[in-house]
Amino acid sequence: MPTVGSIGAIDGSMVAGLMLFGANAKTAVAITVVGRAISYGVSTALGALALALLGGRRVLRMVTEGRTSTAAAG
């Protein structure tokens, strides 16, 4: 069954795989949660860094103006 961002399917598979290789359920869940937190944290930090390096306010203003002009034209 599809889930939002495949969170249930991927995390469940990670826990099952860790348990298959000998980790108990508590440890497998903890490792999975830490892995997910690192994954989200790193991608969020890199996105913020990219936005800052590209001139965040300018980029956000261009996106906002693009939406406004598209809505006015349509």
Where residue 6 falls (left for φ over 0; alpha for ψ -120 to 50; beta otherwise) is left
Instruction: Encode pLDDT of 17-43 as tens digits.
Output: 999 999 999 999 999 989 988 888 888
Instruction: Encode pLDDT of 42-71 as tens digits.
Output: 888 998 888 888 887 787 788 888 776 665
Tell me if 18 sits within 8 A of 27, measured CB to CB. yes
Count of C-beta atoms within a 10 Å radius of residue 32: 20
Check residue 70 and give its pLDDT: 60
